[in-house]
């Protein structure tokens, strides 16, 4: 289980590095979404950063909640 | 799944708070500038702390009533999570003060008294670690918890109001507090209170369930 998760993260990291290596020049793509993120001195980029961090913490909490729930379930039936 | 609705509510409210907290229009007053948006993240930390410490004192009193160790587990978990949120609130406050009050640790009464209050609760957590017998630990720490809560309220609520303080909301009467905050900020502030409090209750419930599993041989 841990091995699977670890190899998944490693693959993702390698993928990101290879993508980043190709995207060295400044992102100048147009479009409503890009314009929005660049408006107001790019503060919305940081809003996005906070949303990502918050969702990461929430996923961690949900996972922990389910793991403890499984332990409680096993405890109720097992012994 | 139906009993998890409040966790989903917490996630949705906090997503709203994070996004709206940066996009809502706020009045720019004095040296605060845009940093007034810290209200949506700094103040809820204290609401979480008070909620947790209130749960803690209630369960400490219930423990002293019947000497049921489960109550002690709940009381100590709440005090631990409350201290965690207190430290977060203090850290965000000092960062904010560095750029608005002109100093990280000023001689402001609210900041000093809050530091003392958090240290008293840290003493509670250290005291618990120093006693190994479970029943003795529960009794001593329950009594200490009553002392800690009896100091928390005057230190953080009463003293800062009696003397001049840089902190907003201090040195005024609580009756006018609702007029201090702009209406547009309230649309984010109140969901922030509910969302963060629900999140702290979620973390607290996880700690309690973990501790109960840890001590299941004693409870049976």
Q: Give mean pLDDT, residues A4-15.
A: 75
Which residues are CB-contacts of B50 (< 8 A; sequence separation ≥ 6)?
A: B82
ipTM: 0.75
The encoded tokens of residue B148 equal: 């800690």
Query: Of B3, B6, B8, B18, which to mutate for an interface test with A (greatest number of A Cβ within 10 Å)?
Result: B18
Task: Tell me which chain A residue has its CA closest to the CA of residue B7.
Answer: A62
Q: What is the pTM of this model?
A: 0.84
* pLDDT class of A9 with cuts at 50, 70, 90: confident
Q: Give chain B as a DSSP string.
A: -GGGHHHHHHHHHHHHHHHHHHHS-----GGGGGGGGGHHHHHHHHHHHHHHHHHHHHHHHHHHHH--HHHHHHHHHHHHHHHHHHHHHHHHHHHHHHHHTS-SS-S-HHHHHHHHHHHHHHHHHHHHHH--SHHHHHHHHHHHHHHHHHHHHIIIIIHHHHS--SSTTTTS-GGGHHHHS-HHHHHHHHHHHHHHHHHHHHHHHHHHHHHHHHTHHHH-
Would you call A29 helix, strand, or coil by DSSP? coil
Q: B198 vs chain A: nearest CA distance in angstroms?
A: 12
Instruction: Note down pLDDT in tens along chain B; length 220 residues.
Output: 678 899 999 999 999 999 999 988 888 888 888 888 989 999 999 999 999 999 999 999 999 999 999 999 999 999 999 999 999 999 999 999 988 888 888 888 999 999 999 999 999 999 999 999 999 999 999 999 999 999 999 999 888 888 888 888 776 666 666 677 788 888 999 999 999 999 999 999 999 999 999 888 888 6
Residues of B within 8 A of A68 (CB-CB) are 206, 209-210, 213
Q: Residue B14: its pLDDT value, please?
A: 95
Q: B184 vs chain A: nearest CA distance in angstroms?
A: 19
Q: What is the 3-state secondary structure (H, E, C) of B159-184?
A: HHHHCCCCCCCCCCCHHHHHHHCCHH
| B22 has a chain A CB within 8 A of its CB | yes
d(CA B111, CA B105): 8
Residue whose entry in the numeric block shows the structure tokens 């299941």: B216
Query: Of B22, B188, B196, B201, which to mutate for an interface test with A (greatest number of A Cβ within 10 Å)?
Result: B22
d(CA B74, CA B211): 9
Q: Residue B94: its pLDDT value, please?
A: 92
Q: Residue B220: its pLDDT value, please?
A: 67
Q: Residue A64: its pLDDT value, please?
A: 93
The encoded tokens of residue B26 equal: 């706020």
Q: Is the separation of the CB atoms in B7 and B189 below 8 Å?
A: no
Residues of A within 8 A of B6 (CB-CB) are none
DSSP 8-state assignment for residue A25: S
Backbone angles phi, psi at B172, to 5 degrees: -130, 175
Task: Tell me which chain A residue has its CA closest to the CA of residue B211.
Answer: A68
Residues A47, B19: C-beta atoms closer than 8 Å: yes
Distance of CA B52 to CAs A66, B75, B120, B200, Å? 23, 9, 15, 8
pLDDT tens digits along A27-47 = 677 788 888 888 878 888 888
B69 burial type by CB count under 10 A (0-12 exposed, 13-18 middle, 19+ buried): middle
* Number of neighbouring beta carbons within 10 Å of residue B5: 9
Q: Is the separation of the CB atoms in B125 and B181 below 8 Å?
A: no
């Amino acid at each position: 289980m841990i091995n699977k998760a670890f190899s998944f993260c490693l693959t993702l990291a390698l993928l990101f590095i290879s993508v980043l290596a190709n995207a060295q020049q400044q992102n100048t793509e147009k479009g409503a979404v890009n314009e929005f993120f660049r408006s107001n001195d790019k503060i919305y980029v940081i809003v996005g950063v906070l949303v990502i961090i918050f969702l990461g913490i929430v996923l961690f909490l949900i996972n922990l909640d389910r793991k403890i729930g499984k332990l409680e379930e096993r405890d109720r039936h097992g012994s | 799944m139906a009993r998890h609705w409040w966790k989903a509510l917490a996630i949705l409210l906090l997503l709203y708070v994070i996004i709206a907290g940066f996009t809502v229009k706020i009045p720019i007053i004095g040296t605060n500038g845009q940093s007034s948006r810290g209200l949506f993240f700094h103040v809820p930390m204290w609401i979480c702390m008070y909620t947790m410490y209130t749960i803690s004192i209630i369960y400490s009193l219930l423990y002293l009533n019947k000497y049921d160790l489960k109550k002690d587990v709940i009381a100590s978990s709440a005090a631990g999570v409350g201290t965690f949120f207190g430290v977060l609130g203090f850290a965000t406050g000092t960062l904010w003060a560095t750029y608005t009050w002109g100093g990280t640790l000023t001689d402001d009464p609210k900041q000093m008294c809050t530091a003392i209050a958090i240290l008293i609760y840290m003493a509670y957590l250290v005291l618990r670690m120093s006693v190994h017998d479970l029943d003795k630990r529960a009794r001593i720490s329950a009594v200490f918890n009553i002392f800690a809560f009896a100091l928390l309220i005057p230190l953080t609520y009463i003293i800062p109001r009696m003397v001049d303080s840089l902190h907003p909301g201090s040195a005024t009467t609580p009756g006018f507090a609702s007029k201090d905050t702009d209406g547009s900020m309230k649309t984010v502030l109140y969901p922030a209170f509910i969302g963060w409090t629900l999140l702290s209750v979620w973390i607290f419930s996880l700690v309690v369930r973990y501790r109960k599993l840890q001590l299941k041989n004693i409870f049976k």
